[in-house]
Amino acid sequence: MRKQIAAANWKMNLTYQQGEKLLDDILDAKIGLAAHQHAIFAVPFPYLLMTRSEVEDAKNYHAAAQNCHHKKSGAYTGEVSVEMLHSIGVNYCVIGHSERREYSAETNAMLAEKVNLCYDSHIVPIFCCGEPLAIREAGTQNDFVAAQLKESLFHLPTDKIKEIIIAYEPIWAIGTGKTASTGQAQEIHQFLRSVIAAQYGEENANEIPILYGGSVKANNAKELFSCPDVDGGLVGGASLVAADFIEIIKSLK
């Protein structure tokens, strides 16, 4: 079965101590994950080592960075390179979250560079795509997300694209309490898979997890994840509350 993933995105929230307690509370629930199920915690850079060591003995629980720089190394004060992440044993990195695209002016071309660096360091990119409200209202969301995939990912060879995790996150649903309906989520996830299939073949497209993000909560996760092309979620707000994220992990297919 295709990987099913509950990914937490803490963003710029929680102190170190609060983050450690949150992880303790979630791990204390001892949710046994099946071979195809994974829980990933995208935490602030200073918490990565702590998170790695917290999840070390829990099968299929992982730490992720929320970002990396698009250059390999050099005079970029305050930035964190992919190589640095690799050197502390981080195996996943969120790439192209809409907040970074918006506030840090990250372009599709820049994200392609980040993706390449991740693969060079054996870090799995969790690649975010998704349309703003105006695009959804104009009904051109499919073209918009297809371009995001093509411009940042479609230079990759098949063996690399097969490793990627995609997160579809409609910007109008992030942190707004507005969730895409299961119909909307399934429709666009199926479309994204068909775009990948057209480039890389159906068999390969069928292996790639496509997560939904945008106000996933404990009370809607099961319904969203039940869609055939929704392979779990990338979760912001609800990942900061242990009981909620535990429920979300338990909602994985």
What are the catalytic residues? 97, 169
- Rounded (10°) angle between helices 182-200 and 141-153: 40
**192 sits near ligand PEP (criterion: CB under 6 A):** no
Q: Which two tokens stand for residue 92?
A: 């996943």
- The least CB distance from residue 71 to ligand PEP, in Å, is 24
Task: Name which position in 19, 125, 170, 214 contacts ligand PEP (CB under 6 A).
Answer: 214
Residues counted in the chain: 253
Q: Which of residues 154-183 bind ligand PEP (CB under 6 A)?
A: 169, 174-175
Please identify, using beta-carbon distances, which residue of 82 and 174 lies nearer to ligand PEP. Answer: 174
**237 sits near ligand PEP (criterion: CB under 6 A):** yes
Q: Are 216 and 233 in contact (CB under 8 A)?
A: yes
H-helix or E-strand spanning residue 21: helix 16-28
Quick one: CA torsion of 54, 55, 57, 61, rounded to 10 degrees?
Answer: 170
- The least CB distance from residue 42 to ligand PEP, in Å, is 9
- The least CB distance from residue 176 to ligand PEP, in Å, is 7
Please identify, using beta-carbon distances, which residue of 86 and 233 lies nearer to ligand PEP. Answer: 233
Please identify, using beta-carbon distances, which residue of 196 and 216 lies nearer to ligand PEP. Answer: 216
Amino acid of residue 115: V
Single out the residue of 207, 210, 205 nearest to residue 234, CA to CA.
Answer: 210
| Beta carbons within 8 Å of 149's beta carbon, 6+ residues apart | 129, 166, 192, 195, 196
Which listed range, 55-63, 64-72, 155-163, 214-222, lies at the site for ligand PEP (CB under 6 A)? 214-222
Q: What is residue 192's DSSP assignment?
A: H
Pure H helices in 139-205 = 141-153, 158-161, 182-200, 202-205
Single out the residue of 228, 96, 101, 217 nearest to residue 164, CA to CA.
Answer: 96
**249 sits near ligand PEP (criterion: CB under 6 A):** no
Task: Name which position in 4, 37, 215, 220 contacts ligand PEP (CB under 6 A).
Answer: 215
Residue least distant from ligand PEP (Cβ): 236
Task: Name which position in 8, 186, 236, 251 contacts ligand PEP (CB under 6 A).
Answer: 236
- The least CB distance from residue 237 to ligand PEP, in Å, is 3
| Sign of the C-alpha dihedral computed for residues 202, 62, 6 and 168 taken in this order | negative
- The least CB distance from residue 54 to ligand PEP, in Å, is 21
Q: Which two tokens stand for residue 178?
A: 């507005």
Which listed range, 63-71, 143-151, 212-220, 244-252, lies at the site for ligand PEP (CB under 6 A)? 212-220
**234 sits near ligand PEP (criterion: CB under 6 A):** yes
- The least CB distance from residue 215 to ligand PEP, in Å, is 4
User: Which residues sit at the interface with ligand PEP, rule CB under 6 A?
Assistant: 9, 11, 169, 174-175, 213-216, 234-238
